[in-house]
Amino acid sequence: MATIDVKSATGKKAGTADLEESWFGIEPNVPVMHQVVTAQLAARRSGTHNTLTRAEVRGGGAKPWRQKGTGRARAGSSTGPHWRGGGVAHGPKTRNYAQRTPKKMIRLALRSALSDRAAEDRVLVVDDWGFDAPSTKAALSALAALNLEGKVLVVLGDDDVVALKSFRNLPSIQTIRSRELNAYDVLVNDWVVFTQATLPGGEPAPAPAAEPAVEAETTEEEG
């Protein structure tokens, strides 16, 4: 299990934190990350584009001119795609771009992305931002003290409202709730900054949690 220094908002060392191996120490699975990110971007598409086919455009009921004797090419309708105002051939239609992605694959992509950033020493842990009131100036000072450059993803808890308001006006900073953390936002940013409260831990162990319930049932049967 790797250990990382915890910094204060002034850039000084405030302790250490353990990076869970299952979150920050696995071998990044590039194909899974690609598939999950592709599905995530596809789900953002509204899919409301629509064009009219020759059967949907208005008009075209009457034959434009008689079949013979005009010297022009024969035409049966004015709704063809080669006519001005006619329908569109093979044009886009309204559709849903969402792709089904298993939850295990989504979690693996997130862990792969975090492990990739951790391998490049692009993960930072702050004990607490410590902003008394929303202040973009204070947020800039904290970023400068932490030597953060480029695009930064700041992971906040639901109660970090002051920090959220302090960072939201900075164009190179993206804030996200810890429960909304995803592979795409991790990969699209140069740095990922957690607080000690939002730092991901290991997977819950189901076996130890189930043992007390079994023991309780056994005790009741004996009684």
Q: For residue 2, what pLDDT is reported?
A: 84
Global pTM reads: 0.78
Q: What's the mean pLDDT when you consider all of the chain?
A: 89
Q: For residue 182, what pLDDT is reported?
A: 96
Nearby residues of 172 by Cβ (< 8 Å), 6 or more positions away: 150, 151, 152
Region label for 59, one of left (φ > 0), alpha (ψ between -120 and 50) or beta (otherwise): left
Domains (range + CATH), the chain: 2-27+103-195 (3.40.1370.10)
Expressed in angstroms, the distance from the first to the final Cα of the chain is 44
Count of CA atoms in the C-beta half-sphere (13 A) of 32: 17
CB atoms inside a 10 Å sphere around CB 211: 9
Q: What is the C-alpha to C-alpha distance for residues 43 and 62, in angstroms, rounded to an integer? A: 43
pLDDT per residue as tens digits for the range 65-76: 999 999 999 999
Q: What secondary structure letter does DSSP report for 204?
A: P
pLDDT per residue as tens digits for the range 169-196: 999 999 999 999 999 999 999 999 999 9
